[in-house]
Amino acid sequence: MGRPSIIKHAKNRGEIEAALLGNLGLEWISARFGVSVSTLRRHRERLFASLAGDIQEASAIAPTEYVERLEEIADGLRRVRNRAESTNDNASVVRASAAEAQVIRDLIDRLGIDDSDTADSLRDAQAIFKAIKRIVVNSPETGRELVAILRDQKAPESLQIAAQRLAEANLTPTLEGNSNV
């Protein structure tokens, strides 16, 4: 069995991989993160092989997982760009910015996002939220059930908290009652 991967266990793995995916240059990445060029080359080959396998299985990957992966890459590139800015390394800022912009463009293209789609999605989400709010206010048990489902699905904490507050609001009498839904 070979040695454990230095990059795989590095705290800044995401930034290193984002730099590799952003094609920022092995020498630059080596100098920036203190990892040898040969280690970077091996990791890049494994990373690209892994991505190639992921692309072949893309039809089996849930769109949300694909989006999360692209977001992680964009975040890593943002951190690389910020680090380069902090050291006044303008050439690296430009390379990292270009790579980050490309990932974001890919994300937008893959998802078919445009301004009208975003506005439509927000309107749909508002309508759904209003309907759920009315149901939860009228049925505290349903509210508690919604909170449990959101927890089970590992929904964002902010959404869980909002649902919890909404469910609890119905349990506390107010001067106006619950008719302001």
**Tens digit of pLDDT at every position of the chain (181 positions):** 566 678 877 788 888 888 887 777 889 888 888 889 998 888 888 877 776 665 555 555 566 677 777 778 888 888 888 888 888 877 777 777 888 888 877 777 776 666 666 667 767 777 777 777 777 777 777 777 878 888 888 877 777 777 777 777 655 444 344 444 4
Q: What does the alpha-carbon distance between residue 134 and residue 161 come to, in Å, rounded to a whole number?
A: 17
**Would 7 be classed as within a structural domain?**
no
Q: Which of 111, 126, 147 is the last residue of a domain?
A: 111
Instruction: Quote the domain boundaries for residue 162.
Output: 115-169
Cβ-based neighbours of 100, under 8 Å, separated by 6 or more: 22, 74, 77, 78, 81
Residue 21 covered by a domain: yes
Say if 28 falls within a structural domain.
yes
Q: Do 58 and 128 sit in the same domain of this protein?
A: no
User: Within this chain, do residues 68 and 121 fall inside the same structural domain, yes or no?
Assistant: no
Same domain, residue pair 119 and 103: no
- Whether 174 is covered by a domain: the verdict is no
CA dihedral 98, 104, 105, 108 (to 10 degrees): -170
79 and 119 share a domain? Answer: no
Same domain, 48 and 102: yes
The verdict on residue 2 lying in a domain is no
